[in-house]
Amino acid sequence: MPELAYLNGKIMPIEEAFVPIEDRGYQFGDAVYEYIASHNGKLFFMDDHIARLERSLKELSYPSISMQMIKSGISDLFKASMIKRAGIYIQISRAVAPRNHGFSNQEPVQIIMTAKSLPDTHHHANKGASAITMEDYRWDRCDIKTVQLLPNCLSKQKAVDQGAYDTIFISKENIVREATSSNVFIIKNNKVLTHPLTNKILPGITRKVILEVCMDKKIAFEESFFTLEQLYDADEVFLSGTVTEVLPIITIDSKNIADKKPGQLTQVLFKELRSKAGVK
């Protein structure tokens, strides 16, 4: 199936899509994005992703954009790609304009999207993965999904260089925040804990779905701060995200989490998430 791009309303082969050099997303990181996955030919929780995209745009004082137009563009691109298990990347930059820190919001925004194939299951899903930790040095508005991801990229690479899957950010106050592109959950005594929604973490769509699953299945959960020591001492740890889904973490900073195996409740939550996506 073809991997396609959408550029300001036009669908084309991905290798033919280019944006001008004075795009503010390129020059300033002045752009927001979303990433939507499909399962069995159906986009997963698209309305939630669109709502978060709209919020990001408002937080950065973008001009008004029709979310219905964005949804139609996503649907058209997804349909044209004919990829049943796809990842749809959406990015909106403020404008193409002469380079200036200030902006007028008079020029039209740039809307780009890509549709690419995704693997059916994360390759660490069954065996679990390892992580490292480091002090959180990102900007103070991690709740906005912008393309300003250089700290995340450098921190991800630090994990890869050490043979780990990902890095988990820890605040100066020793609070566990999130990973480079995923929310973090721990389970202790059959209770699920995750960082509350603040400006320090991204309000993950998969995070939201997992908490809904916990509520539906009467699984005890709490949105509360927890420390690095609690992370090490957890019975189970997992990451959540659009591509990550529910990913067990079995070692952190070379320390084993419990018996160094994906936990039972983590596996239950993974299956329930897949069920909500229509995957048996």
Q: What is the pTM of this model?
A: 0.95
Q: Which residues are catalytic?
A: 145
Q: How sure is the predictor about 126, in pLDDT bands with cuts at 50, 70 and 90?
A: confident
Domains of the chain by range and CATH? 4-117 (3.30.470.10), 129-276 (3.20.10.10)
Structure tokens, 214:
């916990």
Per-residue pLDDT at 87 exceeds 90: yes
Check: CB of residue 97 under 8 Å from CB of residue 104: yes
Per-residue pLDDT at 1 exceeds 80: no
Query: Which pLDDT does position 2 carry in this prediction?
Result: 76
Query: Which pLDDT does position 280 carry in this prediction?
Result: 65
As a whole number, mean pLDDT of residues 149-173 equals 98
Query: Which pLDDT does position 278 carry in this prediction?
Result: 77
25-63 per-position pLDDT tens digit: 999 999 999 999 999 899 999 999 999 999 999 999 999
As a whole number, mean pLDDT of residues 210-216 equals 97
CA-closest candidate to residue 179, choices 269, 246, 88: 246
204: left (phi over 0), alpha (psi -120 to 50) or beta: beta
245: left (phi over 0), alpha (psi -120 to 50) or beta: left
96-112 per-position pLDDT tens digit: 999 999 999 999 999 99
Check: CB of residue 159 under 8 Å from CB of residue 131: yes
252-271 per-position pLDDT tens digit: 999 999 999 999 999 999 99
The gap from C-alpha 252 to its chain's centroid, in whole angstroms, comes to 21
As a whole number, mean pLDDT of residues 127-134 equals 97
Q: How sure is the predictor about 148, in pLDDT bands with cuts at 50, 70 and 90?
A: very high
The amino acid at 89 = Y
- Asked which of 10-14, 79-83, 172-176, 273-277 is least confident by mean pLDDT, the reply is 273-277
Q: What is the mean pLDDT of the chain?
A: 96
Q: State how beta strands 129-135 and 245-252 pair.
A: parallel
- Quick check: helix, strand or coil at residue 171? coil
How many CB atoms are closer than 10 A to CB 61? Answer: 9
As a whole number, mean pLDDT of residues 118-143 equals 94
C-alpha–C-alpha distance, residues 46 and 75, integer Å: 10
- Quick check: helix, strand or coil at residue 146? strand
